[in-house]
Amino acid sequence: MVISIDENDALLLRLLFVRAAWGLGAIGVPAVVGLIGIGVGGAGIGASRLPSDVGFAKADYLWRDEWERSWERFDVRDRRVRPMDARHREVLDATPDEELGAVYLIGPSRFWSEGIDEEAFDRWNRGLFERTIQGHRAPLEESPERRALLALVSAWETGLTNILQLPYEGYFAERINAQYLVVSEETRREVTLYSRALALPPTS
């Protein structure tokens, strides 16, 4: 049995910080830990603020669009690798590297760098990473997956291969497809909550 655990997805973390820093709505996306007090100098977000030339409505629309697109890479309905035909190879050979990078590189657009206190983002991101390292130092028997092993095995038998942890506040769990389960840190660290999350069926 092989289960991949991702605790620090760079693209999603960046977008979550921007959402909190700019006070965007994003109904349905939970609040994140360590970021409170929206506004200049707010706890956790530093001097981040929505650029005056952007406007709330535009920023909110663009954020929602990129948030939705950022989840497309977790759609693993078809993992087959197919040989490239002559027509596709010809198109790729004729396309400049810069254009290919813009299409295929996964990462937040430069738009999300404006109005963001990078030092504040780095502090928050570093705090998340340090908690990850601290968790890895615990004995194997105390790891979240070992403590919820029976539920994990059952989930794996239904097709689960990846667990994505995000810094959402409180309990959160969603089986976005057969392969991926998304959970909050609190959910994963509490064996009862984690077992409940692992028992969720895939979202249809």
Which residues on neighbouring strands pair with residue 184, listed in sequence order?
166
pLDDT of residue 40: 43
- pLDDT in single tens digits along all 204 residues of the chain: 899 999 989 999 999 999 988 888 777 889 888 775 444 445 577 878 888 888 888 889 989 999 999 999 998 554 444 455 666 566 556 666 555 444 444 455 666 777 888 998 999 999 999 988 988 888 989 999 999 999 999 999 999 999 999 999 999 999 999 999 999 999 999 999 999 999 999 876
Whole-number Å distance between alpha carbons of 190 and 201: 20
Backbone φ and ψ for 182, nearest 5 degrees, come out as: -105, 130
pLDDT of residue 38: 44
pLDDT of residue 114: 79
Q: Tell me, rounded to whole angstroms, the distance of Cα 70 from its chain centroid.
A: 8
CB 29 within 8 A of CB 12: no
Is-above-0.85 flag for pTM? no
Whole-number Å distance between alpha carbons of 47 and 119: 9
pLDDT of residue 90: 66
pLDDT of residue 203: 79
CB-CB neighbours of 40 under 10 Å: 12
**β-strands 162-166, 173-175 pairing:** unpaired
